[in-house]
């Protein structure tokens, strides 16, 4: 663990309105404070190995992590991304189901697992919010399956950009339609790795989306999206019925 100290007050927390504590009252937050601590991880560092005993649960405060599964022959499959406010760990389950690795430098708000499980049984606000988050995660997993499966390379790139842009908009309480701008937290190499594409294909498809006016770029990371509905169409998603993570 990268051990420089991290201090975030609940009132100043950037994920407060989307985290597991979003509905907690002042007295409930005080109880959570007693079992809470922060951990920071460097890009590339493993947060949890699959099968490890989980001593904590918590939320990503800043940064991005990847969920991966290693097969018997050593091949690794990326099965999802954890973005700010996403929850890590499962109350009631002793071990981790996936490897969790910091893709970027990352900060987590952690709760000691056993006290958190006890609080769940006495604090409906936490149990209700966690259920909502698990259902959102199920929708995200289904969207990820579609992204990695039947979509074309162009649709995959558009989908990944739209997932990150919509989550960023939700985190900052902005509308998820119309024009949006977002800083992509992933390099093109990481996008290629996660999507099962070559680096050349990723670069070519990003250039094509830019040429067609679907996105514009400032540097390599800052993406402007003139019309979110257009991007969703390019992603192969129904903008009226598609999942908004």
Measured distance CA(216)–CA(182) in Å, rounded: 11
Do 106 and 127 have their domain in common?
Answer: yes
List the domain range (segments joined by +) for residue 61: 10-145
Please give the pLDDT value at position 138.
84
Q: What is the CATH number of the domain that holds 181?
A: 1.10.10.10
Report the chain's terminal Cα–Cα distance, integer Å: 30
Q: What is the mean pLDDT of each run of 10 residues along the chain (245 residues)?
A: 55 81 84 90 93 92 89 81 90 88 93 91 88 85 79 93 88 76 88 90 96 92 93 76 40
The span from the CA of 188 to the CA of 226, in Å, is 21
Half-sphere exposure of 221 (CA within 13 A, CB side): 6
Quote the tokens at residue 7.
Answer: 């201090």
The answer on 33 and 100 residing in a single domain is yes
Q: What is the pLDDT of residue 70?
A: 82
| Residue 20, in any domain of the structure | yes
Indicate whether this model's pTM tops 0.85: no
- Does residue 230 share a domain with residue 160? yes
Task: Looking at the structure, tell me whether residues 42 and 161 fall in a common domain.
Answer: no
State the pairing for strand pair 65-70/46-48.
Answer: unpaired
Verify that 26 and 82 share a domain, yes or no. yes
Is 5 a domain residue?
A: no
Supply the CATH number for residue 33's domain: 2.60.120.10
Structural domain count of the chain = 2
Asked if 34 and 126 sit in the same domain, the reply is yes
Do 121 and 156 lie in a common domain?
A: no
Burial class (CB in 10 A: 0-12, 13-18, 19+), 35: middle
Helix (H) or strand (E) holding 245, with range, is none
- 125 falls within a domain: yes
């Amino acid at each position: 663990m990268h051990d420089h100290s991290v201090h975030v007050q609940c009132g100043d927390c950037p994920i407060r309105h989307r985290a597991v504590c979003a509905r907690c009252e002042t007295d409930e937050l005080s109880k959570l404070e007693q079992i809470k601590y922060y951990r920071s991880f460097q890009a590339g560092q493993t947060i949890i190995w699959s099968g490890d005993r989980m001593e904590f649960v918590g939320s990503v405060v800043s940064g991005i992590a990847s969920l991966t599964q290693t097969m018997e022959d050593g091949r690794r499959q990326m099965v999802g991304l954890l973005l700010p406010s996403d929850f890590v760990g499962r109350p009631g389950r002793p071990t981790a189901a996936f490897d969790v690795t910091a893709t970027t430098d990352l900060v987590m708000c952690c709760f000691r697992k056993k006290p958190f499980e006890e609080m769940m049984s006495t604090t409906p606000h936490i149990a209700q919010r966690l259920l909502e988050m698990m259902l959102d995660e199920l929708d995200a997993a289904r969207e990820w399956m579609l992204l990695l499966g039947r979509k074309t390379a162009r649709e995959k790139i558009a989908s990944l950009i739209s997932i990150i842009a919509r989550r960023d908009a939700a985190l900052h309480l902005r509308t998820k339609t119309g024009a949006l701008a977002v800083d992509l937290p992933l390099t093109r190499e990481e996008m290629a790795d996660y999507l099962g594409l070559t680096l050349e294909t990723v670069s070519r498809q990003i250039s094509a989306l830019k040429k067609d006016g679907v996105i514009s770029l400032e540097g390599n990371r800052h993406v402007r999206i003139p019309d979110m509905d257009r991007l969703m169409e390019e992603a192969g998603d129904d903008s009226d019925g598609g999942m908004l993570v």
